Structures are given as structure tokens and as C-alpha cells.
Amino acid sequence: MASLYPAPLTIAVNTREGYIINPFTGDSIQPIVNSFGDTIKTGVPVPAIGKAIHPDRVALPGIIPAGEPKVVSTLLNVHEIPEILSVIHVNKSSLKTFTPGVDTSSFVLVNSTGDSVPSGVPIPITGKVVPCLQPQPVIALPARMRDNASTNLKFLDVDQGMNSSYVLSILEDSYGNLWFGTGGGGVSKYNGETFTHFTKKEGLCDDLIYSILEDIHGNLWFGSYLGGVSMYDGETFTHFTEKEGLSNNTVFSILEDSRGNLWFGTGGGGVSRYNGSTITHFTEKEGLSNNIIRSILEDSHGNLWLCTEGGGVSMYNGKTFTHFTEKEGLGDDLVYSILEDSHGNLWFGTGGGVSMYDGETFTHFTEKEGLSNNHVWSILEDSHGNLWFGTSGGGVCKYNGETFTHFTEKEGLSNNIVRSILEDSHGNLWFGTWRGGCACLVENPLPILPRKMA
């Protein structure tokens, strides 16, 4: 077969006569002339002697006293909340409560292949074990700062070694490694010096990862867009999909409860409880308010709170489901995130701002009260008691109980859509963004390194 490109042209070095015509271009070759107008000899050794200058002939450098530096305080984007907040009392006598197996609906769970799936009863399940092709680590370049950064915000993106600019989930494992679940690049492990990327090629179930959890045994669980759940034990992946008995292949959230059960919040199959050998699906038929579960929390009393996409929040106490919707005082029925703070209050990130529930009333925080954006993807309480809200277009908001402080691209954030938030063991805050990689706010001058490496 003929070559696509011509063979390279080889030209011999000619230091005796030199070339007059450029063999490549055919142009005549002009001599090199320095700034004095002298022609420079090329291709032959030329004696070179440096000019020595005696120190006595050199003038002493001028010493200019430094003035007092001008200190300018950084103007943070701070917004005070109004004195009067929107507070709605919850009428508990009107709350809707449903008992699985008693108050049933006509809903039938059907998977993507058209098969009906039993719900409300335990089903034996065995995952499919797939060998992991261990990837080679990639050297991580130092985190960057935006030119306009007014705060100590740095970020890691594809230029620094990330596999994707879209970071949907973040976890710090028990060894201090950070794991980034991405929107198209699988999952990346970061140990402060290298990235190790796991994709479908290495055995992962899918390259879009919504959620990550480390269980009490040290196994990592990855919830995906279309590949169900992957469990990684350090050597192999075990996949749980509709084929193996999962209710839906889209898994938005994963929780391990106080009894060691795993709960998978799915994109249409309700929530599934896995005890290690059987899986039980809970859907609208069992009393769930909506079958799309965005996030799950177990509160300090052992109740499960299931945030749905359109049905508000369902609270499951092990026996009954109780619904909290806009009717009962929730800010919006589209609920993406949930947090229980150190005082026992529940915070719901919704499509209509943030709602705080103290057990009796809902208090709403929106753009009107100082929130940067009403679409709240993620919530975190840091080690100082501040609350952080990741928004869809307004960056991230820090709430200290009195004011909201906005961190946006203007302040140095890599992107204004913040899908996930994590505080690591050093107190650094990590913000997983959509199109801007992962940003890190270092409030103390610490290196961006995990505790220890594995």
C-alpha cells in the first residue's frame, strides 16, 4: 500500500562551503548579521572571550526606602438576611401517612425491558463480578487560580489531569483519597499527587457517576446514569443493574443506614433497600410520594428522608411514609438535596430555594432573603457550623446564621453551577462544578493533600 505521506527529506550538514540555496524552500540563503552590521560566522568554532568589568568601575546600586504598604480589605459578596422571614407552621394532623401493604396504590413497577418488578417484598439478588483493569496513575499538575480571584479559591480541571470538567459527586475515603464522580469521565481518584481514572474500559458500570459512598467494610459504591450501581473492593467491580434485580438503572443517591443496609435512590424505580443478600423496592405502591429519588438522609432519630423530583419529601420511619409537600409548607416539590444540621434542623435544597424544617415549622430562604440562586443542588455544614449551598448558576453560598456570602466566578470560582460539596479532613472545602472541574477553597494556608495515601 502506498504511503499517505512522502518520505522525510534528509540534508547533509555542510560546514565546509555551506549552502547557498535552501534545499527545502529553494530560496537564496542570506548571511546572519548582528546589531553592529558584522556578518556572523556559522558552522565553525569561533573564539569567544567575555568582557570583564572591575567592581570599582561599577556604580553602587541606589537604595530607595520602601513606603508603608497600602492594605485594602477584600470586598466579599455579603448579603444580610431580612429581619422577618417566611415561616410556615406545619399542621401535623393534616399530614398524609401511608403504610406499605395496607394503603396501596395501583402503581406497578416496570423496568426498562418492560418486565414488571415485585415491590415491597425482599428479592434475592447477586451482583455480576467484573475484573478491574487497574489503570496507571497520571501526574496531577498544581491547582490553578483564576486571574480575577479575590479569595483563596483554586481548581482542578482537565488541564491539571482530571478526566472531565463535570463533577457530580465527591467523596473522601478512609485513606484520605478524594474520589470525583464525573459526567462522562467515570470516576477519578486523587491522592494529592496523581489522578487514577476508572471508566467503563476499566470495568466501571458507566462513565456518568451521580453518587459515591464508602461502606463500613471499605467498599466503594458508585451510582450511575444508566449502568445501575458498581461496588469496588479494590480489585474487582460488582455490578447491580435491572438484570440483577435493581428497580432502575439510574441511581441518583446512595445511603448506608445505621443498621448497615444500603439504600439506592433511583430515577423512576423508587428507593431500594439492599441488606447484602436481598433487595426490597419501595415505590408509590408502598406509599412513596414519587418514584424519582434525588437524595436520601437518615436523621438522628433513625427516620429516612427521601427527597423526590416532584413529590416533595417522604419520611419513612420503618413502618409508614409521611409526605411533606408545598401543601404542608415545603418551598417546592422538586427537592434535590437534604442535610440535618448540628442543631437537628433539616434543610432541603429545592427548585425554589432552601427550606429549613425544625420539626414544627418551615422557614424559607430564597433570592429575596439573600440566597444567590433558587435552584439548590447541594448542601453541607462545615466544621465551624456554617452552611454551604451549591446552586445552579449562583455559585456557592455560605450562610453563618445572619448573612449569606456568595462565591461566584467573580470571586474566583471555576464555574457557577455547583453540583456537589465536600469538606475534607484538612478543613478544605471542595466544590464539584458543571464545566469547571472541582474548585477548592483553602481558608487556612494548607496544601491540597489528603491525610495519607493508599
Q: What is the mean pLDDT of residues 281-307?
A: 97
Given a contact cutoff of 8 angstroms between Cβ atoms, the answer to whether 372 and 405 are in contact is: no
Q: Check residue 73 and give its pLDDT.
A: 52
Q: What is the mean pLDDT of residues 242-267?
A: 97
Residue % of the chain over a pLDDT of 90:
70
Q: Check residue 69 and give its pLDDT.
A: 61
Q: What is the mean pLDDT of residues 20-42?
A: 80
CB-count burial class (<10 Å; 0-12, 13-18, 19+) for 96? middle
Least confident of 148-162, 220-234, 336-350: 148-162
For 312-363, what is each residue's pLDDT tens digit? 999 999 999 999 999 999 999 999 999 999 999 999 999 999 999 999 999 9
Name the strands in the sheet holding 77-80, side by side, starting at the edge strand that comes first in the sequence: 77-80, 403-407, 396-399, 387-391, 376-381
Q: What's the topology of domain 79-441?
A: Methylamine Dehydrogenase; Chain H (2.130.10)
For 172-199, what is each residue's pLDDT tens digit? 999 999 999 999 999 999 999 999 999 9
pLDDT interval class at 135 (50, 70, 90): very high
pLDDT interval class at 84 (50, 70, 90): confident
pLDDT interval class at 100 (50, 70, 90): confident
Buried b (16+ CB within 10 A) or exposed e, 369-378: bbbbbbbbbb
User: Domain coordinates of the chain in residue numbers?
Assistant: 79-441
Please state the pTM of the whole predicted model.
0.81
For 402-424, what is each residue's pLDDT tens digit? 999 999 999 999 999 999 999 99
Given a contact cutoff of 8 angstroms between Cβ atoms, the answer to whether 277 and 312 are in contact is: no
Q: How far, in Å, CA of 103 to CA of 209, rounded?
A: 35
Q: What is the DSSP letter of 134?
A: P
Q: Check residue 70 and give its pLDDT.
A: 56
Mean pLDDT for the chain overall: 90
